[in-house]
Chain A
Amino acid sequence: MVAAIRVPKTQRARRELLKHAPKLVETGKKTLILHGTKTSAVLNSVLSDIYHLKRDNAVKYTKKNDNIRPFESGGESSLEFFSLKTDCSLIVYGSHSKKRPNNLILGRTYDHHIYDLVEVGVENYKSMESYVYDKKLAPKLGSKPFFAFIGEHFESAEELKHLKEVLLDLFRGEVVENLNLAGVDRIYVCTATSPTTVYMMHCALCLKRSGTSIPRMELVEVGPSMDLVVRRHRLPVESLKKEAMKTADHAKKVKNVTKDPVQGRLGKVYMPDQQVGKLALSNDIKGLKRERREAKKNKEHSKKQKVNPE
């Protein structure tokens, strides 16, 4: 029976496992980038560019991966295993075939099981290296990006609505409460050019003086840029979605505590009823002991006797 339990042998492994544990408030999702048995030069470049953009929070597999067909039943098992192994919940899978050239599958997992999938084809791709610009403007690693979505198709077309959400999840990074305004330096511009196509580009943000406290924004394209043509997509199951959308109820309003500028924190305390009848009694209450009771009785008796003669 003892062998049935597994505990990490080193403190380091233990810390690592604690990092994988579900958290009340989650820190950013990790991305897993991998490809199938066949890829193209374009796809290789796309994958490495995405890895470069997400370098602070991504894992890239460089070997070929067999038997990954996320849209077919049974074909997602190894993806789910990789997701568990690397603790990634965003998956970018590249494959290339005659039927679906330059195929990119963007997927998300919930509890290390596939949550939803979008399959896109990459067209008109321009890599990061092909852009020439002032390197001082280059976005810093891990900075929080802006997003600009343009076009009515993001609302009208089901696939693009889905793709928009996935792209946002893929690139937004960690949800933060405090943002340093000096660290604002990049934007993803996604334009729906047709009901199935999104033109996506990555630009650096230049903050220029405008005479007011709000700076004037200027975009400098830094790449990559590509057309994403939606092929297949799978929306999350409704029940799973409901489960995944749960959030921790944030600190409840504290009752009976007020803040006063002069006196600081003030609290009201209400004493609950002392329910003496329901009190848990232990067996060794001294007053309930027979010897004591009798001793006391005897004492009183003797006192009375003493008093009486006088």
Chain B
Amino acid sequence: MAEGAAATPAATSSFEVDLGNLMAYDPSHHLTAASSREELRQECLQKGTELAQAVADALFALPPSEDRDGPIVHLPPPTIRLPREKHLPKPKPPTKWELFAKAKGITKRKKNKREWDEQTQSWKRTYGYDRVNDDKDIPIIDAKATDEPGVDPFALRRQDKKKRVEKQEKSRLENLKKAAKVGALPSHIQLAAKALPITGTKADLPKKSRKEDLENVAGMASSATASGGKFDEKLPGEKPLKHPGKHRKFLPVAEGKGMGNLEKQQNDKILNSLLARNSDEQLDVGKAITMYKVKKEKQRSKDKKMSSKSDKLKPQKKPLKKSSKKKA
């Protein structure tokens, strides 16, 4: 080992040390013709030790800053440059509004998150749920001279809002498309073709027709004869249609025994149910019970209100009730 250490200073000049990658390279070393694998291994280990020492010499010579976990040194950037993994992030092209704003000299202004709402006399969000000037907080809209009769101003407001939202969505998509052209789409958004890679672009492919679609078309074609395809020869491997012929069945109107009777039965059923709603004889017990219960509940709550309104001096009912329960 002492020999190696002695040789190092002389040899260091021939080493290429890349401290950023913690790498040392000795281009001048010639291997002695090693006879066995073990000898080769020993030689490599020895040379490796020298090179490791060369890296360590440079590394430990850097001024360290003490940290709780140990001394930390600031490494220089690597000299051997390796390729990137992905392209550099591309700047997003300005949106149509941003271009317009720049031309007009409009600058962004910050708005407060909360604003004072005159309608409800309270602080409310500027945007979003339960916001200032929310449609649902406006009970009255003043009529104007220009108003057309028969137009609901509330509905109009809603419609306008909907239109604005749709327009915004449209321009958002347009801006995204513009960004996609330059390849500067935000990474969490993917456009059009579902297999679009996050980086790079791919022209969207035309939709492939499925097997099922083809079969449907073939079936339609084969049955488009005067006989409904009854006398046509089938091709080898052609399967029968899944839904051949008529889909709806109408029952015969004329009275008869089998199917004819069925029509009558159906109509009877409908008629009965309609008549039953008004007839007194038919009583739906379940429905009646619920109706009775609801009625009683209403009556009770009404009574309660009346009593509480009439005299507040009386002790409240609730605690009394509780105590009575306890006793029981």
Measured CB to CB, the residues of A under 8 A from B are 1-2, 4-8, 14, 17-18, 20-24, 26, 29, 84, 89, 108-113, 115, 124, 144-152, 154-155, 165, 168-169, 172, 175-184, 187, 189, 191, 193, 199, 201, 203, 205, 207, 213-219, 221, 225, 236, 241, 243-248, 279-280, 282
Contacts and interface: CB of A to CB of B under 8 A. Distances in A.
A22 B197 CA distance: 12
B263 to A, nearest CB: 45
A165 B82 contact: yes
Contact of B21 (A23, A124, A168): A168
A213 B60 contact: yes
Contacts of B155: none
Contacts of A201: 41, 44-45, 48
Interface residues of B, number: 69
A30 B226 CA distance: 66
Interface centre among A22, A26, A182 (most CB of B within 10 A): A22
Contacts of B59: 179, 181, 184
Interface of B: 1, 5, 20-31, 37, 40-41, 44-45, 47-49, 51-53, 55-57, 59-61, 64, 67, 69-75, 77-78, 80-89, 104-105, 169-170, 173, 176, 187-192, 194, 197-200
17 contacts: A5-B189, A6-B190, A20-B187, A21-B187, A84-B197, A113-B200, A149-B24, A150-B25, A165-B80, A178-B72, A178-B73, A179-B59, A180-B69, A193-B31, A214-B61, A217-B49, A236-B83
A168 B80 contact: yes
Nearest to B169: A2
A5 B191 contact: yes
A218 B46 CA distance: 9
Contact of A21 (B20, B37, B53, B89): B89
B198 A21 contact: yes
Contacts of B170: 1
Contact of A22 (B24, B69, B173, B199): B199
Nearest to A22: B86
A112 B197 contact: yes
Contact of B83 (A146, A176, A245, A282): A245
Nearest to B48: A189
B24 A147 contact: yes
Given A5-B189, A236-B83, 13 more contacts: A4-B192, A5-B191, A17-B188, A89-B86, A113-B200, A148-B55, A150-B44, A151-B31, A180-B67, A193-B40, A216-B1, A243-B87, A248-B88
Given A150-B29, A150-B44, A26 B84 contact: yes
A246 B45 contact: no
Q: When A and B form their complex, which 8 residue pairs have the shortest distance between CB atoms, in order from nearest?
A: A280-B105, A182-B70, A21-B187, A244-B83, A189-B48, A148-B51, A147-B23, A22-B86
B83 A180 contact: no
A284 to B, nearest CB: 13
B105 to A, nearest CB: 3
A302 B219 CA distance: 95
Given A24-B88, A175-B20, A181 B70 contact: yes
A149 B23 contact: yes
A200 to B, nearest CB: 9
A193 to B, nearest CB: 6
Given A147-B21, A178-B72, A152 B27 contact: yes
A150 B187 contact: no
A193 B29 CA distance: 11
Nearest to A164: B25
A225 B44 CA distance: 12
Contacts of B29: 150-152
B47 A191 contact: yes
Contacts of B86: 22-23, 26, 89, 110-112
A248 B91 CA distance: 13
Contacts of B64: 181
A146 B173 CA distance: 50
Interface centre among B22, B29, B83, B187 (most CB of A within 10 A): B83
Contacts of B51: 148-150, 189
A7 B194 CA distance: 11
Given A149-B26, A178-B73, A221 B83 contact: no
B18 to A, nearest CB: 8
A302 B67 CA distance: 81
A146 B167 CA distance: 58
B182 to A, nearest CB: 13
Contacts of A144: 22
Contacts of A89: 85-86
